Structure 1
Amino acid sequence: MSRHSTSPAGSAPTLREVLETVEQLWPLRLQEPWDASGLVTGRPERPVRRILFAVDPVAAVVAEAVAAGADLLVTHHPLLLRAVTTVAADGFKGALVHELIENGCALLACHTNADSARDGVSDAVARAAGLGATAALAPHPADPEVGIGRVGDLAEPVTLRSLARRLADAVPATAHGVRVAGDPEALVRRVAVCGGAGDSLFEEVRAAGADVYVTADLRHHPASEAREAASGPRAGGTPYLVDLSHWASEWLWLPVGAAALREALAARGRDVEVRVSALRSDPWDFRIDHPHAQTAGGTA
């Protein structure tokens, strides 16, 4: 039992104990300087019996947590990433803060600290791609063995089409789908990944010698410039690009994070129900494809 434990073995932990456990799994020192991970609402001395994991602290997710009787909502994205001067309930973020507090549900954000930490968001994407051993794509200054993104080699080369299909089968369905840039029949083996928006890491991807880069939220100009650079006389057309939904790429970590926290609390002798939200918080509802759109298989 941890020397920090304040309640009998087998009982619910306090929020303070949960935060101590989270710090061991996803240390706040690993978050990016601009980030706002950490506790948003909640009294540290309150017991925590039910925990819900989700990507986004949106109204539907907060309502789900309250309806489930959750004492703690753990989200990947912070609710208050940018500075605010009020949390009055007449604004949508303030309304969520009030809803959480009035129903005794704490809110904890594990954002870029969970991206960088071992078995974090990009590790989940790497497993979905079929990678085994990986290294950090952008090593963290405090711990070069972890950091943003991962890069590694597949056991055997596969076609770009096969890799994209493998990822499409692994992530939840979204209107975004899976977009791919490159020859669908090209063989790829070295894969770089970054859960969430990763178009700031193209230099690291090229330096790692990746055949393909799997990420999300690829904007037009960074993607276009990456393709132009890849078509140069010495680039060989790589890295190819696989663009996932931002929400779907990060959702892959939720079952992993929930299981890790449940097991770590159990190791402290604490009994907690931990589950993953069933709601899709991807902001897009549907997509209309042009009848002559080009797909990996030809004309749609």
Structure 2
Amino acid sequence: MKIREITDAIERFAPLALQESYDNAGLVVGDPEREVSCALLAVDVTEEVLAEAEREGCDLVVTHHPIIFHPLRRLNGADYVQRCVERAVRSGIALYACHTNLDGAPNGMSWRLAAELGIGALRVLEPAAGKGEGAGFGVVGELPDAVPTLDYLRGVGRRLGVGALRHSAVVHERVRRVAVCTGAGGSLIGEALRAGAELYLTADLKYNDFMTPSGRLTVADIGHFESEYCAIELLFEIFSKNLRTFAVRKSGCSCNPVSYLCL
């Protein structure tokens, strides 16, 4: 199957027009007219993921994060980005990224994570103007019943395999309305407040982010990788529904670069 046919199917779900201006989603390495036989799905392009693709005979790697965000000035193996790009080219492995367009697509990343965490009646937290119904970043919805906030956070941590879950002061003893944004979502704290959320789950929160909603909202940092691992399942579903005769594998080497030391 041609790479173009595969990327067309992905982009019908997550059009490239939905990506943010800083992003580099799309075909990063490879010829769209080239024939490929098997895709490997991962969160990131790493040397371990590329080695896995070589072992398994996968000539296309589809990830959430693009390996190249900025123009490469050199290709001399000085860092993992250069090594990965050179290895992909030498091994004939095409690289495709579905990043903020998958985040912002209707029923995209935050929708998937929220559903996994038992949150229903979802709506977009920050709609993308002029990009269609359901497009935008983050979601807010309701749990079936109000539950103790700390119990719910413990359940989230167990469900996502979070090594350590950071959170602000618990404002509400029990929580029902929950907002979610996969990846770095500190900029949407105000939107979560305006949506009446009692708890906001996201990642990469800074020190002052834990103070911003003081007395009104509990915010919790659930880890960047942990919040975005659902990209693999979401992409697998797109392949399964639209490319049924094409071979696709979920990476067993897609790992969190952050380690936690339990004291």
TM over 0.5: yes
| Residue in 2 that maps onto 1:192 | 179
TM-score, L = length of structure 2: 0.93
Residue of 121, 131, 138 corresponding to 1:149: 138
Equivalent of residue 3 in structure 2, options 8, 12, 15? 15
- Tell me what 2:91 maps to: 103
* Equivalence for 2:18: 30
- Within 2, Cα distance between the matches of 1:212 and 1:22? 32
Specify the alignment match of 1:5 in structure 2.
Answer: none
Q: Report if the CA contact (8 A) 2:105-2:134 is conserved.
A: no
Task: Provide structure 1 residue ranges, at least 5 long, that are not aligned to the other structure.
Answer: 1-12, 232-237, 290-300
Residue 159 (structure 1) aligned to one of 128, 133, 148: 148
Give identity over the alignment, percent: 34
1:52-77: per-residue Cα shift (whole Å, max 9, x none)? 11111122122212221112111111
Correspondent of 1:254 among 232, 240, 244: 232
Distance 1:55 1:244, change over 3 A: same
Residue 122 of structure 1 is matched in structure 2 by 110
Mapping 1:134-145, distance limit 5 Å: 134-141=122-129, 142-145=131-134
Are 1:131 and 2:119 an aligned pair?
Answer: yes
Which residue does the alignment assign to 2:81? Answer: 93
Of 42, 45, 64, which residue of structure 2 is paired with 1:76?
Answer: 64
Q: Secondary structure at the match of 1:145?
A: coil
5+ residue gaps, structure 2, are: none
Residues 174 and 65 of structure 1: CA distance in aligned 2, closer, same or farther (over 3 Å): farther
Alpha-carbon distance between aligned partners in 2 of 1:184 and 1:190, rounded to the nearest angstrom: 13
Report SS of the residue matched to 1:200. Answer: helix
Aligned pair count reads: 262
Report how far residue 33 of structure 1 moved. Answer: 1.4
Aligned residues: CA RMSD = 1.8
Task: Name which of 242, 249, 254 aligns with 1:275.
Answer: 249
**Helix, strand or coil for the counterpart of 1:262?**
helix
Q: Which entry has the higher C-alpha Rg, 1 or 2?
A: 1
CA distance in structure 2 between the aligned counterparts of 1:166 and 1:47, rounded to whole angstroms: 44
- Residue of 273, 276, 285 corresponding to 2:259: 285
Deviations 1:89-143 (A, max 9, x none): 4443222112112212110011000101123211122012211221111111222
Query: In the alignment, is the contact (CA less than 8 A) between 1:66 and 1:100 conserved in 2?
Result: no
SS at match of 2:182: strand
- Aligned-partner SS, 2:106: coil
Structure 1 residues 219 and 265: alpha-carbon distance in aligned structure 2, compared to 1, 3 A threshold: same
1:59 aligns with 2:47: yes
Relative distance call for 1:164 and 1:250 in structure 2 (3 A) is same
- Residue 245 (structure 1) aligns with: 223
Q: Output the CA distance in 2 between the equivalents of 1:195 and 1:107.
A: 22
What secondary structure sits across from 2:186 in the alignment? coil
Deviation of 1:281 after TM superposition, in Å, equals 2.7
Q: SS at the partner of 1:190?
A: strand
CA distance in 2, matches of 1:220, 1:280: 28
- 1:298 is aligned to none
Q: Secondary structure at the match of 2:65?
A: coil
User: Residue 57 of structure 1 aligns to a residue in which SS?
Assistant: coil
Instruction: Look up the equivalent residue of 1:284 and give its one-letter code.
Output: V
Q: Does 1:221 align with 2:195?
A: no
**How far off is 1:278 after superposition?**
1.7
**Cα distance, 1:254 vs. partner?**
1.2
Q: What one-letter code is carried by the residue in structure 2 that aligns with 1:61?
A: V
**Aligned-partner residue type, residue 188 of structure 1:** V
Partner-residue secondary structure (3-state), 1:201: helix
Query: Could you say which residue in structure 2 is the equivalent of 1:6?
Result: none
SS at match of 2:96: strand
CA distance in 2, matches of 1:201, 1:143: 20
